[in-house]
Structure 1
């Protein structure tokens, strides 16, 4: 097997979620560092979507379905709705949409943004956990924001504001590249006592109110500023997180 074939198989397994955590981390780092590999990943993702769409053909006829069921020995599934029943259901949905559209239209953007936030939350939590099990939770170790900020140039399309909170008890430890939605994004890493705080910065996907979640002992918060959304993950207590968030957002060049 050539190296090219091996990379393709690993990339396919990565997109299908079949790699081990260590292999997935290695692939994410390669995606962050290799623009050509990221392009191949995007083409593979697009091709997979097109194949799924192409295979989404109308269901087989009742006669063909009955023949197949008889040959393989399975019992026939529950019958489909009749054409008239399906038409009634569709009409009801259209009427609800027509009359309710004016009432709920304003909330559609928020609903879609919230729907899309779950995969983002999963990705930023996974990035934080991978950082904790790695030898160091960052790719570049520096407490100097003038070192960390330029390091992201060319590695991500997002240019985060790097806030130095050393004198407030939350020293900048460094930065790393995480992968969210198949794209390399910057994560700032801070420390407080023995706790690690990850702040991942992603493009804003729509109107999304501030939020908080608890995941396996970790607090996940997010807020938006301008065209960016900031995701914070840590096992720090609520008081410490509140202080950090306030200091981060209120600092010159902060996210509020």
Structure 2
């Protein structure tokens, strides 16, 4: 059987060391028994090494970190040659690629001041959207791959300033795919990753801040953003999914967060 999308996601998590011990053993068993899966793994492994070597030979331009921090808030520059504990190599490579692209091209344009002129914005919103775009540019849009809420929820403990609820909408056609850590306002915050067919939905959870409007932001470069508050938290759902289905997803999410009774 040829590897499917789920196999791609599991292999990315396996390469990043994010699978549990049991999942790792099962993946190694499958790799030994399935030549097609092994071939895909070797291609992904080679691509990862090639990207890291290329990035290692291309230093981050002087002053780029300061320019990005001034525009988008605090940015942490990752050094590709050495993997810091807890930082997957895919994420390090994606972050460096984003830094290289931020000065121009589609991502740089999407983060330009034209956003504010065309629909308003805030540093929080800019950082949330940038996290979504960065994730789409990476081989996988999450740091941990799992469809189990009881796996994803505790993974955030100690990693982010917010411990989010992780609803499961698999029965409604919006399966949980995993989670990642994004940086908003200099703080590490959780982002839950869901899927709808081939579309990725990022739900970033940040502490609620007074003075920020509650209206849904304007679309940005083909992506829609929905915003809502629940208690002392604010939720942003970002996706290129059509408006009706993204609204359906947001309504489901809000209903799960509503207090009982």
TM-score normalised by structure 1 residue count: 0.56
Quote the residue 1:159 is aligned against: 163
Q: In the TM superposition, what whole-angstrom CA distance separates every residue of 1:62-120 from its partner, at most 9, and x where no partner exists?
A: xxxxxxxxxxxxxxxxxxxxxxxxxxxxxxxxxxxxxxxxxxxxxxxxxxxxx9x6111
Identify, as 1 or 2, the structure richer in helix. Answer: 1
Moved over 6 A (4+): 9-12, 28-32
Quote the residue 2:237 is aligned against: 232
Pick from 123, 133, 136 the counterpart of residue 132 of structure 1: 136
Unaligned runs of 5+ in 2: 1-59, 70-74, 88-119
Contact 1:172 1:189 in 2 (8 A): yes
Please report how far the alpha carbon of residue 33 of structure 1 lies from its aligned counterpart in structure 2 after TM superposition: 5.4
Pick from 19, 22, 27 the counterpart of residue 78 of structure 2: 27
Root-mean-square deviation (CA, aligned residues, Å) is 3.1
Distance in 2 (CA, whole Å) between partners of 1:33 and 1:15 is 24
Whether 1:144 and 2:148 are equivalent positions in the alignment is yes
Q: In the TM superposition, what whole-angstrom CA distance separates every residue of 1:5-52 from its partner, at most 9, and x where no partner exists?
A: xxxx9997424328xxxxx67639999959xxxxxxxxxxxxxxxxxx
Please report how far the alpha carbon of residue 209 of structure 1 lies from its aligned counterpart in structure 2 after TM superposition: 2.0
Distance in 1 (CA, whole Å) between partners of 2:187 and 2:79 is 9
Whether 1:246 and 2:251 are equivalent positions in the alignment is yes
Distance in 2 (CA, whole Å) between partners of 1:228 and 1:32 is 29
Contact 1:175 1:186 in 2 (8 A): yes
Quote the residue 1:63 is aligned against: none
For the residue of structure 2 that corresponds to 1:212, the secondary structure is: coil
Unaligned runs of 5+ in 1: 1-8, 19-23, 35-114
Contact 2:226 2:250 in 1 (8 A): no
Quote the residue 1:68 is aligned against: none
- Larger of the two Rg values belongs to structure: 1
Pick closer, same or farther for the CA change 1:254–1:146 going to 2, 3 Å.
farther
Please report how far the alpha carbon of residue 150 of structure 1 lies from its aligned counterpart in structure 2 after TM superposition: 0.4
Pick closer, same or farther for the CA change 1:221–1:255 going to 2, 3 Å.
farther
TM-score normalised by structure 2 residue count: 0.55
Quote the residue 1:220 is aligned against: 225
1:92-103 aligned within 5 A: none
Whether 1:14 and 2:65 are equivalent positions in the alignment is yes
Distance in 1 (CA, whole Å) between partners of 2:62 and 2:162 is 24
* Alignment: residue pair count: 161
Pick closer, same or farther for the CA change 1:186–1:172 going to 2, 3 Å.
same
Pick from 192, 196, 201 the counterpart of residue 200 of structure 2: 196
Pick closer, same or farther for the CA change 1:255–1:213 going to 2, 3 Å.
farther
